[in-house]
């Protein structure tokens, strides 16, 4: 029988991808799992043109131009006929996403001086998808301003039809058929302090030259992600040691982009988290030893086979026949409780590095820097995002505590190693 | 271009102190600093909270429907037997306890407790009036117990209006429970001498008194507190 493929543009609803299914259940009146990406241009942003650019790009991203709906058993996303919302930026980014606000879109576009920012609910996409979406509508914005910007890298052709492989759930496609692994959970150390007032957080961005940090990492025989994660891990071990308490594991969470290992072009979620632990009860570690431990652990664990069994482990829950027929209200409740009692308690800090943001050279002439940050946590102070464009790497801390000692020690560490750091913050 | 003398990091032109260590920026070479915009705007957006009042009103209307249906059915089919009064009074009781607090515009906790006390007394009165009005237990037992319990709740609410340490909170709760226990025993025994209530009061009262004394001892004695945390850490 001949299969009739539906035009993706005319498809009115989609299932959430495997990772996306858990995020609506984690949502609370004060917190959502949001990814924020920002691009700093060389000229002030015109909000009216920005709105037109975002609106023009939406049909190219059918899984972003959606609103979230409740099915009886699962959440789903359906085409949103409303206009997107472009807002002036605020001092307190990454606010919770409420599904009936913002014309029911699950992303918000902000502008402030030279900066365009996109905050997107994690149920729709991961850091990579957010970067592609932001770069594509920023390129269109620059075109509307009269510049000639070609497509390429993370800038998609908006005149092209959306591709089937861009909306696929790659977790299902690349999950192992033979093995599965569930991520073990351990209680870990947290650097806690006095919380910031509700809905506010400390955002600190450090800009560093890519060539210098690359050279430093190479000198130590590791990658940039390994080096910077090891700095965070080492600092947390020092904090815990100085607190003179019962020593718990220090666990770094490092999200890994599956697209690097598999031939996936999806614009939906396709990352999983590696939790790399070290037990301080084994004795004192020097920074070099922590770096070696983290680097070797990551290299040992980061294989396509391992990713594949991790996808299978996550999918097992979704495919379980009993789970499938549990009403969504109970599923959301279970996800919320699990998230409250486990989740952040099992990780000390998160370091997510989207890597080099590739855009056409003609667009690069108008761009100063690119920033990626995860939303501030509910327990973890150090939730760190990094992105590089040209020779500038932006490392951003989203911290829910008043004390900024983790970021202070982190950037001081880099300065001591000879890396120049320029700091920006939302502190008033 | 300024650097923090403490951290060694370069600071944004708009910074007048280091965001990492709060050290003020003093650059003697720049006498009249050019004001540049900060990295983030100053305005803080506080998102709207969930409209609980609207949801509570909708729920109240929905709750009204089965009650109206019950009353109409009762009056049409069995006018001699007034069974719908139990359904309506139970719904009303539920509404006063769990829905009304969301409809009230401001958080008036003592008013809410007073309304709940009256609603509970009225609810019990309906059962009393339709079943055993001649015995008089409502006035002798139910009303004093209702007033005593809600007065205790009001006192605890006043005590917990400030955040209290765990040991002090436990002392307050166990004191309230011990007093309530004795009060129930007195009221019930004044109405009718029920031996079983006395036994329960003695067992429960002694247990909570022991716990109360233990928490008071822990709260007062730092050495004991330290010894306990040393012996029973996990």
Q: Are residues A56 and A137 in the same domain?
A: yes
Q: Are residues A248 and A350 in the same domain?
A: yes
- Burial class, A316, CB count within 10 angstroms (exposed 0-12 / middle 13-18 / buried 19+): middle
* From A91, A198, A206, residue closest to B40, measured CB to CB: A91
* From A92, A98, A416, residue closest to B44, measured CB to CB: A92
**A175 in a structural domain:** no
Task: Please provide residue B213's backbone torsions phi and psi, each rounded to the nearest 5 degrees.
Answer: -65, -40
Q: Are residues A210 and A155 in the same domain?
A: no
Q: Are residues A255 and A374 in the same domain?
A: yes
Contact list in A for residue B25 (CB cut-off 8 A) is none
Kindly state the percentage of chain A with pLDDT values over 90.
75
Given a contact cutoff of 8 angstroms between Cβ atoms, the answer to whether A174 and A373 are in contact is no
- Residue A149 binned pLDDT confidence (cut-offs 50, 70, 90): very high
Which of A47, A427, A428 best tests the B interface by mutation, with the highest count of B CBs <10 A? A427
For A148, the token pair is 């000639």
**Angle, alpha carbons B65-B70-B73 (nearest 5°):** 125
Annotated domain spans of chain B: 1-47, 163-234
Length of chain A as a residue count: 428
CATH of the domain at A359: 3.30.559.30
Place of tokens 């506010």: A200
Q: Are residues A155 and A222 in the same domain?
A: no
Q: Which residues is B17 bridged to in the sheet?
A: B24
Residue with the bigger pLDDT between A183 and A345: it is A345
With a CB cutoff of 8 Å and minimum separation 6, the contacts of A143 are: A53, A149
**ipTM summary value:** 0.85
How far apart are the C-alpha atoms of A174 and A263, rounded to whole Å?
Answer: 9
| Interchain CB contact of B21 with A (< 8 Å) | yes
Given a contact cutoff of 8 angstroms between Cβ atoms, the answer to whether A390 and A203 are in contact is no
Contact list in B for residue A428 (CB cut-off 8 A) is 38, 42
| Interchain CB contact of A31 with B (< 8 Å) | no
Residue A7 has what pLDDT?
63
Residue B196 has what pLDDT?
83
Place of tokens 């059915």: B73
* From B10, B44, B233, residue closest to A423, measured CB to CB: B10
State the distance between the two ends of chain B, measured CA to CA, in whole angstroms. 52
Given a contact cutoff of 8 angstroms between Cβ atoms, the answer to whether A355 and A13 are in contact is no
Rounded average pLDDT over A236-265: 91
Q: Are residues A148 and A223 in the same domain?
A: no
Q: Are residues A285 and A215 in the same domain?
A: yes
Q: Is the pLDDT reported for residue B32 higher than 70?
A: no
CB pairs under 8 A between A and B: 88
Q: What is the pTM of this model?
A: 0.79
Q: Which residues of B41-68 are buried (b: 16+ CB within 10 A; e: fewer)?
A: beeeeeeeeeeeeeebeebeeeeeeebe
| Interchain CB contact of B234 with A (< 8 Å) | no
Angle between helices A127-144 and A47-57 in degrees, nearest 10: 120
Final residue before a domain boundary, out of A114, A138, A166: A166
Kindly state the percentage of chain B with pLDDT values over 70.
97
**A299 in a structural domain:** yes
Q: Among A155-169, A265-279, B220-234, whose mean pLDDT is lowest? A: B220-234
Residue with the bigger pLDDT between A343 and A120: it is A120
Residues 28-57 of B with CB under 8 A from A: 37-50
Are residues A423 and B44, on separate chains, in Cβ contact within 8 Å? no
Give me the helices (H) in A244-388, please. 287-301, 304-319, 321-324, 328-341, 361-364
B21 Cα distance to chain centroid: 40
- Chain B residue with minimum CA distance to A96: B47
Residue A9 has what pLDDT?
61
Residue B222 has what pLDDT?
82
pLDDT in tens, A43-94: 999 999 999 999 999 999 999 999 999 888 999 999 999 999 999 999 999 9
Q: Are residues A376 and A260 in the same domain?
A: yes
- Residue B163 binned pLDDT confidence (cut-offs 50, 70, 90): confident
Which of B47, B49, B233 best tests the A interface by mutation, with the highest count of A CBs <10 A? B47
- Residue B94 binned pLDDT confidence (cut-offs 50, 70, 90): very high
| Interchain CB contact of B9 with A (< 8 Å) | yes
Residue A1 has what pLDDT?
39
Radius of gyration for the alpha carbons in chain A, expressed in angstroms and rounded: 21
Q: Are residues A268 and A392 in the same domain?
A: yes
Are residues B20 and A204, on separate chains, in Cβ contact within 8 Å? yes
Rounded average pLDDT over B44-52: 80
- Chain A residue with minimum CA distance to B38: A426
| Interchain CB contact of B111 with A (< 8 Å) | no
* From A92, A205, A411, residue closest to B7, measured CB to CB: A411
Rounded average pLDDT over A175-186: 80
CATH of the domain at A33: 3.30.559.10
Are residues B43 and A206, on separate chains, in Cβ contact within 8 Å? no
For A278, the token pair is 């070290």
Q: Are residues A287 and A397 in the same domain?
A: yes
For A38, the token pair is 């920002």
- Chain A residue with minimum CA distance to B6: A412
Rounded average pLDDT over B143-167: 89
- Residue A2 binned pLDDT confidence (cut-offs 50, 70, 90): very low
CA distance to A421, B93, B149, B163, B169, per residue, from B110 (Å): 56, 18, 14, 18, 20
For B161, the token pair is 């209006």
**A96 in a structural domain:** yes
Are residues B8 and A412, on separate chains, in Cβ contact within 8 Å? yes
Final residue before a domain boundary, out of A166, A190, A212: A166
A12-16, A323-327, B99-103, B118-122: range with highest mean pLDDT = B118-122
Q: Are residues A161 and A208 in the same domain?
A: no
Looking at every residue in chain B, the average pLDDT score rounds to 86
| Interchain CB contact of B11 with A (< 8 Å) | yes
Rounded average pLDDT over A116-137: 96
pLDDT in tens, B173-218: 888 888 888 898 888 888 887 788 888 888 888 888 888 888 888 8
CB atoms within 10 A of CB A192: 12
Q: Are residues A162 and A108 in the same domain?
A: yes
pLDDT in tens, A281-326: 999 999 999 999 999 999 999 999 999 999 999 898 888 888 888 8
Given a contact cutoff of 8 angstroms between Cβ atoms, the answer to whether A353 and A319 are in contact is no
Which of B16, B19, B233 best tests the A interface by mutation, with the highest count of A CBs <10 A? B19
Range of the domain at A350: 202-425
Number of domains comprising chain A? 2
Final residue before a domain boundary, out of A166, A187, A211: A166
């Amino acid at each position: 029988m001949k299969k009739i493929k539906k035009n993706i543009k005319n498809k009115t609803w989609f299932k959430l991808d495997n990772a996306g299914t858990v995020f609506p259940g984690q949502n609370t009146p004060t917190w959502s799992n949001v990814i924020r990406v920002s691009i700093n241009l060389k000229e002030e942003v015109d909000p009216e043109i920005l709105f037109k650019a975002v609106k023009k790009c939406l049909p190219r991203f059918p899984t972003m131009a959606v609103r979230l709906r409740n099915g009886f058993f699962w959440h789903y996303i359906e085409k949103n006929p409303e206009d997107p919302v472009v807002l002036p930026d605020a001092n307190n980014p990454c606010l919770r996403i409420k599904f009936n606000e913002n014309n029911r879109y699950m992303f918000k576009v902000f502008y402030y001086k030279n900066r365009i920012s996109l905050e997107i609910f994690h149920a729709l996409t991961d850091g990579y998808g957010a970067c592609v979406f932001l770069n594509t509508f920023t390129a269109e914005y620059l075109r509307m301003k009269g510049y000639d910007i070609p497509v390429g890298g993370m800038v998609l052709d908006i005149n092209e039809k959306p591709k089937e492989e861009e909306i696929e759930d790659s977790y299902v496609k690349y999950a192992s058929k033979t093995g599965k692994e569930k991520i073990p959970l351990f209680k870990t150390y947290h650097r806690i302090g006095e919380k910031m007032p509700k809905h506010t957080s400390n955002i600190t961005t450090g800009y560093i030259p890519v060539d210098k940090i690359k050279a430093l990492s190479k000198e130590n025989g590791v990658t940039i992600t390994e080096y910077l994660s090891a700095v965070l891990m080492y600092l947390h071990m020092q904090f815990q040691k100085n607190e003179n308490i019962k020593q718990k594991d220090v666990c770094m969470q490092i999200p890994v982009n599956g697209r690097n290992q598999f031939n996936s072009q999806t614009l939906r979620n396709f990352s999983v988290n590696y939790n790399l632990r070290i037990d301080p009860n084994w004795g004192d570690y020097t920074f070099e030893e922590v770096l070696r431990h983290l680097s070797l652990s990551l290299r040992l664990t980061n294989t396509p086979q391992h990713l594949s069994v991790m996808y299978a482990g996550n999918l097992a829950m979704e495919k379980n026949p009993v789970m499938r027929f549990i009403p969504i209200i109970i599923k959301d409740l279970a996800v919320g409780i699990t998230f409250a009692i486990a989740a952040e308690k099992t990780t000390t800090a998160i370091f997510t590095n989207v890597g080099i943001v590739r855009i056409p050279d003609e667009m690069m002439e108008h761009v100063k820097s690119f920033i990626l940050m995860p939303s501030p946590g509910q327990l973890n102070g150090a939730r760190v995002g990094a992105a590089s464009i040209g020779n500038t790497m932006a490392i951003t801390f989203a911290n829910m505590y008043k004390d900024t000692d983790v970021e202070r020690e982190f950037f001081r560490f880099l300065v001591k190693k000879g890396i120049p750091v320029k700091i920006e913050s939302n502190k008033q | 271009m300024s650097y923090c003398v403490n951290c060694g990091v370069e600071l944004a032109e708009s910074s007048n102190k280091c965001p990492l260590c709060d050290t003020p920026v003093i650059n003697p070479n720049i006498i009249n600093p050019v004001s540049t915009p900060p990295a983030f705007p100053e305005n803080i957006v506080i998102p709207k909270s969930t409209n609980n009042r609207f949801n509570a009103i909708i729920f109240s209307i929905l709750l009204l429907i089965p009650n109206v249906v019950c009353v109409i059915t009762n009056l049409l089919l069995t006018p001699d037997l007034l069974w719908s009064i139990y359904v309506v009074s139970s719904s009303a009781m539920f509404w006063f306890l769990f829905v009304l607090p969301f409809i009230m515009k401001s958080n008036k906790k003592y008013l809410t407790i007073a309304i709940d006390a009256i609603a509970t007394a009225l609810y019990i009165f309906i059962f009393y009036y339709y079943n055993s009005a001649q015995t008089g237990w409502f006035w002798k037992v139910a009303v004093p117990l209702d007033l005593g319990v809600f007065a205790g709740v009001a006192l605890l609410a006043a005590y917990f209006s400030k955040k209290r340490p765990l040991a002090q909170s436990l002392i307050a709760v166990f004191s309230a429970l011990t007093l309530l226990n004795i009060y129930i025993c007195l009221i019930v025994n004044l109405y009718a001498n029920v031996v079983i209530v006395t036994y329960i009061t003695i067992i429960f009262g002694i247990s909570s008194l022991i716990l109360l004394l233990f928490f008071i001892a822990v709260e007062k004695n730092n050495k004991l507190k330290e010894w306990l945390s040393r012996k029973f850490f996990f």
